[in-house]
Structure 1
Amino acid sequence: MVCQGNSRTVKSNQEGIHHKLDALVMRYKQTESKRPVSEHTREAFLAVEDWLDGWQGDIILDSCCGVGQSTATIAAGYPDCKVIGLDKSAMRLGKHSHYQSGADNYAVFRADVNDFWRLAVQGQWSVKKHYLLYPNPYPKSSQIQKRWYGSAAMVDLMALCPVIEVRSNWLLYLQEFAQAATHYGLSGEIEKVAKGQPMTPFERKYLASGQACWKLTTGKAKD
């Protein structure tokens, strides 16, 4: 039986790269964040460090992992890494049992990723790859500063790891992310997500609705 979806496409009053994008990225890059780290995320960070138990190998982050289907999938593809799924919603993480793989190289935790990224940077974590799958696109032009790359969080996001995979059903989101990343010496390639095994429930719904999904992969720009 073929799965059918009814997900709406992203609607935006913004037709191209936001005219304020570069200025916002540079402003935040030159400004130190004064935002206090939330106590519950500090506790979550300590819980993650306990789970890592002195691990000296590579770490993969799956930020805003939702129900954690993607975290389990990533862990299966990287058995020699420790994979950490992060989401701010206890309700979403509470549904992870439906997607749990039983692998022992991953775990999901409730945390504010803005704060967690900063703590991981301060802790000098060795992050091999960072996944940001289907973040809220905040498609209105006035919402540019709510998108990761248009916010203060971009500084820590860029400091954590140069290899980032972002997926979205809004191509402009990835184009803007790629442009923002160039200010940190990164280049990016965008390609269509092939139909196959969806990594997240959102991806499954979008593809079943006939929408195109895209992925951006960043890395250090070549000289």
Structure 2
Amino acid sequence: MAAVVVALGLSAVRSRDLPPGYVIERQAPHARTAAVACKHVLELDSFLHNAPTPEHTRATFGATAAWLAERHGARRGAGGLLLDSGCGTGRSTLLLAQQHPDCLVIGVDRSLARLRKDKRDISPGAACAPRGDEGPVQPAFDNALLVRADLPAFWRLAVESGWRLRAHRLLFPNPYPKPAHLPRRWHAHPSWPLVLALGGELELRSNWRTYLEETVIATSAIAHLASSDGEAGDLPPPSCDAAALRPDVRAAARALAAGLRVEQYAASAPFVSEFEAKYEAARLPLFRLALRLG
């Protein structure tokens, strides 16, 4: 996960011992954000048809589904399912599990090395420091699971399995700040409609405000399309047919609350990630965005 430092010189970054990464100024949202998002939401089925699901992710999802079935059976009346996408070391997953003991929390990251990082500093004495030959599915707390998987493929399997989330977190995702890398940002990635279809209360955090501003633009454009009853307006390419929008994505987009806005916040311990802790220590601005997807 890359770090982005806004409006600071490189010398200042080094002096504060921040994680290595990009040094960028705040910039205007990419002009094609809305068009790209609408294109992807209309072409979701084509993307899924052509995108292979890695075998390791399919196996991981099967083990995760079995864990969920077992835990749901043991925890009747549980408060719902929380997904922590791109969880890194799993610090945020374990904090969510502590904060929501009535819920089942799943943290997903593509790096097994990050997931295996010792996390006893988060909760002393907790069985959450995987070692040795442990596989890609690692029980942490009684109500938390850390898994290694490809995120778009994991989201796809979750949607196909009928998952509906209570809450979803995307904390400090890799921003890919170069204009040419817009399609790598989650809100402009072909898999973004899957995030919407999973529903729940989606929260994003970043130290690059532009990333969240673009998320508002992309998701608002999809919501506009979902409510247009076939009239796509000038947002997607002229050849797009809004009637092709998948019902599950349409329903989630229509449920979006109005007045989406990015807000600055002050982080405090316990920090959700190493990035948040270091940015706060360096007194850098942090931002978050909440989306309600029904």
TM-score by length of 1: 0.90
How far apart are the structure 2 equivalents of 1:191 and 1:211? Answer: 14
Q: How does 1:27-176 map to 2 (within 5 A)?
A: 27-31=39-43, 32=45, 33=47, 34-54=50-70, 55=72, 57=78, 58-99=80-121, 101=123, 102=126, 103-176=141-214
Q: Which moved more, 1:83-92 or 1:53-62?
A: 53-62
Q: Which amino acid aligns with 1:28?
A: H
- Structure number with larger C-alpha Rg: 2
Work out whether 1:205 is the aligned partner of 2:243: no
Q: Would the alpha carbon gap of residues 99 and 64 (structure 1) be closer, same or farther in structure 2, given more than 3 Å must change?
A: farther
- Tell me if structure 2 keeps the 8 A contact 1:68–1:96: no
Paired residue secondary structure (2:166): strand
Q: Would the alpha carbon gap of residues 220 and 88 (structure 1) be closer, same or farther in structure 2, given more than 3 Å must change?
A: closer
After superposition, give the CA deviation of every residue in 1:79-121 in whole Å (9 maximum; x if it has no partner). Answer: 1110000000011001044356433110101001110000000
How far apart are the structure 1 equivalents of 2:55 and 2:190? Answer: 19
How far apart are the structure 2 equivalents of 1:40 and 1:174? Answer: 31
Q: How does 1:11-30 map to 2 (within 5 A)?
A: 11-12=23-24, 15-30=27-42
Deviation of 1:210 (Å)? 1.6
User: Taking every aligned residue pair, what percent have the same amino acid on both sides?
Assistant: 34
Structure 1: any 5+ residue segments left out of the alignment?
A: none
How far apart are the structure 2 equivalents of 1:63 and 1:171? Answer: 19
Aligned-CA RMSD value: 2.1
How far apart are the structure 1 equivalents of 2:268 and 2:21? Answer: 20
Query: Corresponding residue for 2:287?
Result: 214
Deviation of 1:195 (Å)? 3.0
How far apart are the structure 1 equivalents of 2:87 and 2:39? Answer: 28
Query: Corresponding residue for 2:17?
Result: 6
Q: How does 1:168-207 map to 2 (within 5 A)?
A: 168-182=206-220, 183=222, 184-185=253-254, 186-187=256-257, 188-197=260-269, 198-207=271-280
After superposition, give the CA deviation of every residue in 1:7-51 in whole Å (9 maximum; x if it has no partner). Answer: 278544772111111110011011122201110000010111111
How far apart are the structure 2 equivalents of 1:13 and 1:144? Answer: 16
Deviation of 1:180 (Å)? 1.2
Q: Which moved more, 1:174-183 or 1:146-155?
A: 174-183
- Tell me if structure 2 keeps the 8 A contact 1:62–1:83: yes
How far apart are the structure 1 equivalents of 2:60 and 2:31? Answer: 37
Deviation of 1:166 (Å)? 0.4
How far apart are the structure 1 equivalents of 2:101 and 2:277? Answer: 24
- Tell me if structure 1 keeps the 8 A contact 2:164–2:200: no
How far apart are the structure 2 equivalents of 1:95 and 1:30? Answer: 39
How far apart are the structure 1 equivalents of 2:34 and 2:177? Answer: 17
After superposition, give the CA deviation of every residue in 1:127-171 in whole Å (9 maximum; x if it has no partner). Answer: 100000000000111110000011101011111114111000000
